Amino acid sequence: MGQKKNAWALLIPGAALCLALGCSTRHDVAMAPVEVKPIHITIDVNVKVDRALDSFFDDIDAAEEEIKE
């Protein structure tokens, strides 16, 4: 009976120690400096405006042709 008592006396603190060590975690996170570079965006809307102007001037040219005739 003395051996069983000694085994439990070592087993319970040993299990508690393993449980405590297994539940503790540590994480090191290093933050590096972030470099933000400028972004250049070119949007070409000239095509749409150019088509609208062509359409507008085509109407004027057609009216001018009718006046000349």
| pTM listed for this prediction | 0.29
Query: How many Å apart are CA 16 and CA 25, to the nearest integer?
Result: 16
Tell me the average confidence (pLDDT) per consecutive run of 10 residues in the chain, 69 residues long: 67 80 75 88 75 80 74
> Given this model, what pLDDT does residue 38 score?
92
Query: How many Å apart are CA 37 and CA 51, to the nearest integer?
Result: 36
**Owner of token pair 């749409």:** 48
Torsion sign, CA atoms 54, 56, 59, 65: negative
Q: Around 23, how many Cα atoms within 13 Å sit in the side-chain half-sphere?
A: 6
CA distances from 22 to 10, 12, 28 (A): 18, 15, 18
